[in-house]
Structures are given as C-alpha cells and as structure tokens.
Amino acid sequence: MKLIKYSALLAAAALLSACGGHDFEGVYESRAGSSNDVLNAFAEMAGADRIVIGDDYIESEGRRTTFDDIFERESAGKRYLVFKRGETEEVWTIVDDKTLMQGNELVSIKLVRVE
C-alpha cells in the first residue's frame, strides 16, 4: 500500500513540475542592431554574448539572476516573454520561437536561440 501511495505521489510531483514554465529555455546569443547605418556599425562592434534562459533565471557571464516567474503573455495580438521579480517586470517581445527582442527600430537587442 505504501508503494502505491509513494508512486502516486511521485507521479503527481512529476506532473506538476511539467506544468507551468515557458518554452524559451535555452542558450541565446545577443545581437545588437539598428535601422541607422552608423548606429548599426557601432552595435556590430559590440560583439555577441551568450545568455542562458532557464526555468526561473538568466545567466550571463557567469552571473545568475533569478526571477519569481518567467512566463508568456499575449497582448494586442503580440506575444511577450515576461521576467517578473516582485512587482517589477522586464518584458521582451517574442519575434518567433527562437528570437526575443527588446528595443525599437532605432536601437534593439535580439536574443537568438543557438542551443
């Protein structure tokens, strides 16, 4: 009887851990860009950094920043990936399933999934 209860508990825990989260966990490369040729040249000189987005954290250059929640939000026909810590939210636009963007036409940063 204990084995059945233990198995049911493990199955429930596995099921709950599979719920929630987001579909953007992985390794990304940051790319700065601009619609302005001069600014774009400077942005390209900055190079690319590797960033890891996890279940509830971001790692960059060995530093980990944790969040209370990372989730997807849809608003006005656009999709966003929201990084929430306390009452503060950092929002990235979801361009496609492998690309996140923050900024505007003049200056933007894109995160492109590489792994």
Give per-residue pLDDT as tens, 80-100: 999 999 999 999 999 999 999
Number of domains the chain is built from: 1
Which of 5-9, 11-15, 17-21, 81-85 is the most confident on average? Answer: 81-85
43 pLDDT band, cuts 50/70/90, is: low
Task: Answer yes or no: is pLDDT of 108 > 90.
Answer: no
Q: Rounded to two decimals, what is the model's pTM?
A: 0.72
Q: Is residue 84 part of a domain?
A: yes
Residues in the chain: 115
Query: Which of the pair, 115 or 20, is modelled with greater confidence?
Result: 115
Residue 90 is predicted with a pLDDT of 95
Q: Is residue 29 part of a domain?
A: yes
Q: Is residue 41 part of a domain?
A: yes
Q: Is residue 3 part of a domain?
A: no
Q: Is residue 44 part of a domain?
A: yes
Task: Answer yes or no: is pLDDT of 41 > 90.
Answer: no
| Three-class DSSP labels, the chain | CHHHHHHHHHHHHHHHHHCCCCCCCEEEEEEEECCCHHHHHHHHHCCCCEEEECCCEEEECCEEEECCEEEEEEECCEEEEEEEECCEEEEEEEEECCEEEEECCCCEEEEEECC
Q: Is residue 54 part of a domain?
A: yes
6-10, 74-78, 83-87: least confident range: 6-10
104: domain range? 23-113
